[in-house]
């Protein structure tokens, strides 16, 4: 149920973006406009829809992220406390657990950020600039969460349901997109790079969600 609704979010987002581009009160394009503009009254007569989608999705992401961590650390505890295992394997499992733990913390902060940008939309950012703050939290959280979990998936001796190639992408893709956003090339706008950060997150969130869903069906 959670995964189905989570995946439906991406369909809704695609629909919402295309609807705002072609039918919004003001013209919208990903070169000049940030993602947050989709939740502004300037670009849509119903900005609360996107706000509701982001807050709902944040809630649905919680069990997904906990399940990802559960899969990554599924057999590490038995190895760590097994004196018959080599010291290398035991240290490696501790290393994996630490990365999975920090990855989960990062992803949970991303959930807080995602909920926050819906609660404090561009039109309700307050004098404290809370929308901007939560926007930073969500992208930083997702980028570091992908990095830590990607490392754990890549170095884990026993294969998980997540391919190591996906783990490699999680290490490189989102973090690279974030660096480019912080230090943009002269020929590329920041709003476009923000969209690329979102795409970089989708490219690992969607496959992992589908793999989890497939695992549930097989069970």
Whole-prediction pTM: 0.84
DSSP SS3 for 60: helix
φ and ψ of 26, to 5 deg: -115, 155
35-39, 147-151, 193-197: which range is least confident on average?
Answer: 35-39
Is the Cα dihedral 124, 129, 131, 132 positive or negative?
A: positive
8-22, 47-61, 72-86, 184-198: which range is least confident on average?
Answer: 8-22
User: pLDDT tier at 22 (50, 70, 90 boundaries)?
Assistant: very low
Of 31 and 21, the one with more pLDDT: 31
């Amino acid at each position: 149920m959670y995964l189905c609704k989570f995946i439906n979010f991406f369909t809704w987002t695609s629909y919402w973006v295309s609807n705002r581009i072609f039918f919004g009160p003001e013209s919208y394009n990903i070169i000049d406009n940030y993602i947050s503009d989709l939740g502004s009254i300037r670009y849509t007569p119903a900005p609360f829809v996107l706000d509701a989608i982001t807050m709902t999705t944040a809630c649905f992401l919680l069990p997904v992220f906990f399940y990802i961590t559960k899969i990554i650390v599924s057999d590490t505890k038995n190895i760590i406390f097994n004196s018959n295992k080599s010291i290398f394997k035991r240290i490696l499992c501790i290393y994996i657990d630490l990365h999975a733990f920090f990855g989960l913390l990062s992803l949970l902060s991303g959930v807080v950020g995602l909920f926050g940008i819906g609660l404090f939309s561009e039109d309700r950012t307050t004098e404290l600039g809370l929308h901007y703050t939560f926007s930073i939290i969500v992208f930083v959280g997702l980028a570091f969460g992908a990095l830590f979990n990607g490392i754990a998936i890549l170095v884990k001796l026993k294969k998980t349901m997540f391919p190591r190639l996906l783990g490699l992408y999680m290490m490189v893709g989102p973090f690279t997109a974030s660096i480019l956003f912080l230090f943009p090339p002269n020929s590329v706008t920041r709003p476009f790079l923000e969209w690329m950060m979102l795409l970089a997150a989708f490219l690992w969130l969607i496959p992992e969600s589908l793999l989890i869903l497939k695992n549930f069906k097989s069970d």
